[in-house]
Amino acid sequence: MTLARWTTHSRKGFSLVELMVVVAIIGILASLLLVSISKMETSAYMSTDLSHHRMIAKASATHATDNENRLLHPRTEETNQNQINDMVGHQFVREIIDNEMIDQAVIDANKRLWVRAYDESGIIRLTDADTGLPETSRQELTRALSDGAAWQYMDGDPSIYRSPLDPTKITRSYSLNAFVGTELCPDEWFGTGYTDPFYNEFAMYAVGTPTLSRIPQPSNTFFSITEWDPGHNSSVPPGRNHLGFMLHPNQATGYANYQIWHDIPGFWYDGNYTISMVDGSTKSVPVTDPNLVDELDEHRVVYDGADLRQIQGWMLPGVLEYRFDN
C-alpha cells in the first residue's frame, strides 16, 4: 500500500528552478560556442590575409625572375619625367642618377607599376569624375589591378588584393613599401614642387632599389602592408590606397617631421597590422601604444613611439639608418 502510494505521487517533470538552471547552462554554452566560432572565423581571416601577403611578395620575386631582376614598383600612378628632372638637380640625387638615365628610369618604373590606379586617354581605371566624389577619392576599378604588373603573377584574382580583415569596401587593402622596387626614392616624387625645407631634406632618401641585390636585408625589410589611406578611401563609396606606403626610415634629432606618420597601417586585427617581408615571410604585428589607432586619423600626423620606430626600422635597413648622422 505504501509503495503504490509513493509510485502514484512521484514527480514526472522538472521544477521551474531546474528548468531555469538548464536554460542558463545552455545559454552559457551557446555564448561560449559563438565566441569560439568568432575566434575561429577571425583566425581563418588572418590566415587568408597572411596568405595574400605571401602571394604579393612571391609575385614580385617571380616578376624579377622574368624581367631582368626588376622587382614590382610600389607606385600606383606613373612617374612623371619632369618630376625626375627636378630630383636630379638635387645634390643628393646626383649621386644616384644622371640626365642620361632619366628617360630609361621613367620607362622602367612605369612598366613595373604593380597597380595602375590612374586614368589615361581612352582607358578608365578609376570611377568617372561625375560620381560627385572628390577626385582624390575616386574608386579604384578592377581594371587598375588587371593592368598592373603584378596581375599575371597573382593568378588574375582580384580577391588577393583585398584583406578579409578590411572593414572598408575598397578594392585593394594592400600597399607596397615605397622604398622597395623604386628607381630613385619613395614614390619618386618627394622633393619636387615643395618649398617646405622638410621635402628638401627628404631628397637624402633618394636610394634606388629596383633589384633584389640592392636590398641588403630581405628578411628584415617589409614589402607589403595593410593600409588605410584617409583622403583616398574614407569617402562613401570608398576610393583607393594611393601610391606606396611610406614613413621616414629613421629619426633625426631636432626634426619633428621625421617622427611623422605619412601613411597609416590598417589596424584591423585587434589593433594589429599585417606585413610581408621581401623574403616572403609574413607576420601580424601587435601595436604597443593603445592610443595609436585613435591618434592616426589623417596623413602626416606627428606621433612618436615604439610602433613608429619599429616600422621605420623595416623600411630599408642596412641602407638608410645613418643618413642623418652628419
Distance of alpha carbon 267 from alpha carbon 307, whole angstroms: 12
Cis peptide before 237 (omega within 30 of 0): yes
The terminus-to-terminus CA distance of the chain in angstroms comes to 107
CA distances from 322 to 97, 181, 205, 247 (A): 21, 21, 11, 15
Asked if pLDDT for residue 14 goes beyond 80, the answer is no
How does pLDDT run across 291-323, given as a tens digit for each residue? 998 899 888 888 888 899 899 889 999 887 644
User: In this predicted structure, which of 41-55, 244-258, 269-283 has the lowest mean pLDDT?
Assistant: 244-258
Q: Which amino acid is at 149?
A: A
pLDDT digits (tens, 9 = 90+) for 200-247: 666 667 778 889 999 999 999 999 999 988 876 554 555 788 889 988
Q: How confident is the model at residue 132 (pLDDT cuts 50, 70, 90)?
A: low
% residues pLDDT > 70 (the chain): 68
Element (H, E) at 224: strand 222-228
* Whole-angstrom distance, CA of residue 165 vs CA of residue 117: 22
Q: What is the pLDDT of residue 39?
A: 63
Show the CA angle centred on residue 221, arms to residues 216 and 224, nearest 5°: 140
Q: What pLDDT shows up at residue 254?
A: 45
Q: Quote the DSSP letter at residue 211.
A: B
| Cβ neighbourhood burial of 100 (10 Å; 0-12, 13-18, 19+) | exposed
Which grid coordinates belong to 80? 612623371
Distances (CA, A) of 119 to 107, 124, 151: 17, 5, 18
150-190 pLDDT per residue, tens: 999 999 999 999 999 998 888 899 999 999 998 776 666 55
Please state, as a whole number, how many other Cβ atoms lie within 10 Å of the Cβ of residue 152.
13
Residue 230's pLDDT is 80
- pLDDT tens-place string over residues 203-212: 667 778 889 9
Query: CA distances (Å), 139 to each of 24, 78, 124, 125, 169, in order?
Result: 49, 17, 11, 9, 10
